[in-house]
Structure 1
Amino acid sequence: MSLASVFLPIALAIIMLGLGLGLTVADFRRVLAYPKASVIALVCQILLLPALCLGLVLLFDLPPVLAVGMMLLAASPGGTTANLYSHLFGGDVALNVTLTAINSVLAVFTMPLVTNLAIGYFGAESGALGLQFDKSLQVFALVLVPVAIGMLVRARFSAFAERMHKPVKIASAIILFLVVVGVVLQERANIGGYIRDVGLITLVFSVLSLAVGYWAPRLFKVGREQAIASCMEIGIHNATLSITVAMGLLAIPQMAVPSATYGVIMFFTAAAAGFLLRRRSPAEVPAGS
């Protein structure tokens, strides 16, 4: 656990620093350019996904610790990998950047709220007292401080930020992989049971997240490129953040298992969704407003 408490926050800080290196203040203002798409995506992310996840958890009758882990995953914001997937499959990357930035700020408040409610509802193991005020401040520090530093570096040293943005993004992907491997190794004695417990539910949750991310905006006549961006943003969570909260702040490695499992599955389900959406020509799908 000491390794997790040290290296997970460092890994997350590097990932969030990389996000900050690609952000400007204009990215937060850009929500005004896509008000409908932004609002729909944020409502899906903050309200609909936790409700959907709760239904799945009750349906699958998960043990309390894994149930809270699933809710923690559902409350986590979109990951920076969503920007790459959106670019690959024809999404509006500018909207992705905007949503990731706003979601990361909102997660400072929504993750402790959802996690504490889930711990209270499911009665997770007695050692889990939830994200109390001091731990919520740690979430704030882990998420927003590196982003702010990255944005400051970009504003003051834009050429350096441009050079470092891609290497840091690659490092972030490697770090996410290593984090998932670390969780698997730490829980290797129980991994077979965990896969039986959460493998199917994380797969279903991933597929439903991607579907909601695309079809909710389309139902409200949002443009196809913005809907693809929303699909990737909502379907690709910041698993490293939820793993860090579970292992580093709450010190319950079992609670990180759903996020670690999802962190592997989401790359394949998101790629499959991207290929399916790319096959749908714009002529087949009416352009939205």
Structure 2
Amino acid sequence: MQSNFLTAVLLPLALFVIMLGMGLGLTLKDFKRIVTDPKPVLLGLFAQLVMLPLVGFLFASTFPLTPELAVGLMVLAACPGGPTSNMVTYLAKGNVALSITLTAISSLITIFTIPLVVNFSMQSFLGENVSLQLPFLQTVIQIAVITLIPVTLGMVLHHYAPAFAARVEKWVKWLSLFFLGLIIFGLLLKERANVLPFFLQVGWVTLALNIATMVLGYGLARLAKIDHKSTVAITSEVGIQNGTLAIAVASAPTLLNNPTMAIPAAIYSLLMFLTGAALASWASRKPVDSVADM
């Protein structure tokens, strides 16, 4: 699989399908939830947009990673949430509406925060004289195009053709998983000579990031006395990152155009299904009374 086909054709198509699928399940009520029930939404957004990058930076600074892989880890930490976290929340019997709300709102905000976090990371790990940077306005526009347009299209279909949107949504989810698998396969194939060293170097760090942010998300929700279903949603949203968007930012020709920086997100995207399944199994079996309001 040629890298130019992967990054120029397959990756944008995959992102379009994934974000379209998210839009098919969204309504304007999801965005209004921040006003009607602000506590879990604001807590979740704080954990996603502030705590997650801080934990990512701590891990990238502490563990022995090459500068490019450290930046790749930060790209991943700058892309919270995604349709996979919604699926995990559903399987874990959590508050799916809250999960979708957090994904939707964070997707809007990260259009502006991704270039800030990534450029700070490149200055920190690649040196002050690094020439590679994400131009803020251009990056904001590009990320908005590849995320907002398909999400808006999905919401329009949901509003005007709800029956059709409901039928299509499940197929779109499976198609998005197929595309994600192809992208990961293509990246690992291109870097096949380095896959094992990369996995040994960054695989356990991405796993640690995944587990640590899940634990911190759960702990914050419990301290704030959030109900069980919403706690599950926050745990999933904080712990499950948008790997496809991270891969796009790292490897797309018009953004960072650095396949090595996409490796942490590619490896993470494999591991998150294991941790997500573990979270779903644990949360769905845990008695609600034991994790309800403290």
Instruction: State the TM-score, normalizing by the size of structure 2.
Output: 0.93
Aligned residue in 2 for 1:2: 4
Partners of 1:258 and 1:232 in 2: CA distance: 19
In structure 1, what is the Cα distance between the partners aligned to 2:189 and 2:37?
A: 43
Q: Is the 8 A contact 2:123 2:130 kept in 1?
A: no
135-144 vs 122-131, which deviates more?
122-131
Report the Cα distance in structure 2 between the residues aligned to 1:148 and 1:140, rounded to whole angstroms. Answer: 11
State the identity as a percent: 39
Q: How does 1:200-279 map to 2 (within 5 A)?
A: 200-248=204-252, 249-279=255-285
Could you tell me how far 1:127 is from its partner in structure 2? 5.7
Count of equivalent residues? 288
Query: Secondary structure of the equivalent of 1:283?
Result: helix
Which aligned runs of 4 or more in structure 1 are off by greater than 4 angstroms?
Answer: 124-127
Summarize deviations over 1:116-141 as a string: whole Å, max 9, x none. Answer: 11111111695622244223311111
Which residue does 1:194 correspond to in 2?
198
Residue by residue over 1:133-174, the C-alpha shift from the partner in whole angstroms, topping out at 9 and shown as x without a partner, is 223311111111111111112222222212211111111111
Instruction: Single out whichever of 9-18 and 119-128 deviates more from structure 2.
Output: 119-128
Provide closer, same or farther for how the CA distance between residues 154 and 202 of structure 1 changes in structure 2, counting only shifts above 3 A. same
Q: Which runs of 5+ in 2 are unaligned?
A: none
CA contact (8 A) 1:119 1:130 kept: no
**Which of 50, 54, 62 lines up with 2:53 in the alignment?**
50
Q: How does 1:139-154 map to 2 (within 5 A)?
A: 139-154=143-158
Q: Give me the whole-angstrom Cα distance separating, in 1, the residues matched to 2:29 and 2:240.
A: 23
Shift of 1:114: 0.5
Over 3 Å counting, the alpha-carbon distance change for 1:156 and 1:277 in structure 2 is closer
Gaps of 5+ in 1: none
In the alignment, does 2:289 pair up with 1:283? yes
Taking the aligned partners of 2:292 and 2:100, their CA distance within structure 1 comes to 25
Distance of 1:264 and 1:32 partners within structure 2 = 35
- The answer to whether the aligner puts 1:163 opposite 2:152 as a matched pair is no
Deviation at 1:59, TM superposition (A): 1.2
How large is the RMSD of aligned CA atoms in angstroms? 1.6
- Alpha-carbon distance in structure 1 between the residues aligned to 2:215 and 2:120: 26
Residue 123, structure 1, aligned to residue 122, structure 2: no
The amino acid across from 2:270 in the alignment is V
